[in-house]
Amino acid sequence: MNKIIDIRSDTVTQPTPEMRRVMAEAPVGDDVYGDDPTVNRLEALAAERSGKEAALFVPSGTMGNQLAIMTHTKRGDDVICGRNAHVFVHEVGAAAVLSGVILDPVDSPDDIIYPELLERAIREDDIHCPPTTLLCIENALATGKVVPLDVMEKVYETAKARGLSVHMDGARLFNAAEALGVDPAAITKYTDTVMFCLSKGLCAPVGSMLAGSREFIERARKNRKILGGGMRQCGILAAAGILALTEMPACLRTDHENAAWLRRRLAKIPGVHVKEDGIQINMVFFTLDHPKELVEALPEKLLERGIKINGISAGELRFVTNHDVTREDLAFVADCMEEILAEG
């Protein structure tokens, strides 16, 4: 069978052959007893990479974010996040269901929560208001943008001055670090806790990390058990996670360069409007001038040529470059797009 070129997301990446090998050979134990040597290695490594005292292996990014919210807050607290933040839009209302908190979304033209927006969003100390106790930020943003370090610093200072904890959804922390040309720890320095995914551009089959102070992570470990996230011989998965943190970050530059190349290439196709405003990671967003029927038929027409894309969402199409897609694959995608759009 010909290769399928899957540019729906970076979550579709396959574990590398080396990952499969180390998974087969990983020494394991019962992690709920703290006995899994491979998980213990991964957690120590993740803490070091994110500049935090401790880290916890969790099955998914969603669980990592929700554990952070659960551990930082008490029922009835007010939590500030971006209007388009994953915790608000894509986690099935879990913060309300699991932690009983109110998510208070902030509107921002570029999705970045600036200090003045944060100040305005914090609830007053008033008998009618829930206490605002947590800020959830994202970096990189789901829009493909990266929050600059000086903004991170100022927002963190503002949050701290107002007594808030700061959690960062860093599902693509390593993409943000690559784009900014810094260590991940230079970003997470401006957060109390961070979740980052091993399973997206870094190619591990499963898993994310939640990192923070030792005391916080111990409480989160207990909360993970409440959520049924205490896993047993999951060193099999952690083994791939270790490679995700040691070998794979260096590959993200190629994903970013490929996305930049694809943006330039697609922009040459008549009627394709590629978004260029500050997108720095492995994503390509664009709109099309073409008739609605053609735009809606695009996923099917591309699939006939072996290319998987997601359908239009909020008027935009999104292609995501990843480890399993080469520059040649992307050239083929662009050629197919040109051909299909020209046929009309």
Ligand X SMILES: Cc1ncc(COP(=O)(O)O)c(C=O)c1O
- Which residue ranges make up the site for ligand X (CB under 6 A)? 11, 60-62, 86, 138, 142, 169, 171, 197, 199, 208
What is the rounded CA–CA span in Å between residue 127 and residue 42? 45
Tell the smallest beta-carbon distance from residue 123 to ligand X (Å): 25
Tell the smallest beta-carbon distance from residue 72 to ligand X (Å): 16
Of 28 and 58, nearer to ligand X (C-beta) is 58
DSSP for residue 42: H
Tell the smallest beta-carbon distance from residue 62 to ligand X (Å): 3
Tell the smallest beta-carbon distance from residue 330 to ligand X (Å): 21
**Cβ-proximal residue to ligand X, closest one:** 61
What is the rounded CA–CA span in Å between residue 182 and residue 152? 14
Of 187 and 334, nearer to ligand X (C-beta) is 187
Cis peptide before 140 (omega within 30 of 0): yes
Tell the smallest beta-carbon distance from residue 194 to ligand X (Å): 11
Of 144 and 249, nearer to ligand X (C-beta) is 144
Of 197 and 325, nearer to ligand X (C-beta) is 197
What is the rounded CA–CA span in Å between residue 156 and residue 190? 6
Tell the smallest beta-carbon distance from residue 27 to ligand X (Å): 25
Residues 6+ apart with CB under 8 A from 24: none
Of 88 and 286, nearer to ligand X (C-beta) is 88
Residues 6+ apart with CB under 8 A from 277: 110, 145
Three-state SS for 105?
A: strand
Distances (CA, A) of 238 to 17, 37, 50, 230, 286: 15, 10, 17, 14, 36
Distances (CA, A) of 93 to 7, 168, 195, 229, 273: 27, 18, 18, 19, 33
Of 84 and 254, nearer to ligand X (C-beta) is 84
